[in-house]
Structure 1
Amino acid sequence: MFRGFKDFLLRGNVVELAVAVVVGAAFTSIVTAFTDHIVNPLVAAVGGDNDMGFGFRLLSSNDATFIDLGAVISAGINFFIIAGVVYFVLIVPVNAAKARFAPEKEPEDEPLSETDLLIQIRDLLEKGSYTTAPAEPAASAEASVTSRER
Structure 2
Amino acid sequence: MLQGFKDFLLRGNIVDLAVAVVIGTAFTALVGAFTASFIDPLIGLVGGGGPSGMSFEVNDQTFTVGAFITAIITFAITAAVVYFFVVVPMKKMNELRAAGKAPEPEGVSEDIALLREIRDSLQNRPS
Q: TM-score, normalised by structure 2?
A: 0.74
CA contact (8 A) 2:54 2:64 kept: yes
Report the equivalent of 1:36: 36
Residue number in structure 2 paired with 1:133: none
> Partner of 1:82 in structure 2?
78
Give the TM-score of the pair, scaled to structure 1. Answer: 0.63
Q: Structure 1: 5+ residue runs without aligned partners? A: 107-150
Q: 1:4 to 1:44 in 2, by over 3 A?
A: same
Q: 1:104 deviation in Å? A: 6.6
| CA shift in 2, pair 1:74/1:105, >3 Å | farther
Counterpart in 2 of 1:66?
62
Map 1:1-150 → 2, pairs under 5 A: 1-48=1-48, 50-51=49-50, 52-59=52-59, 62=60, 65-102=61-98, 103=101
Cα deviation 1:86-123 (Å, max 9, x = unaligned) = 111011111101111222777xxxxxxxxxxxxxxxxx
Q: Give, in whole Å, the separation in 2 of the partners of 1:66 and 1:58.
A: 7
Give the number of the structure whose alpha-carbon radius of gyration is greater.
1
Please identify runs of 4+ aligned residues in structure 1 that moved more than 2 A: 102-106
More helix by share: 2
Q: Which runs of no fewer than 5 residues in structure 2 stay unpaired?
A: 105-127
How many residues align? The count is: 102
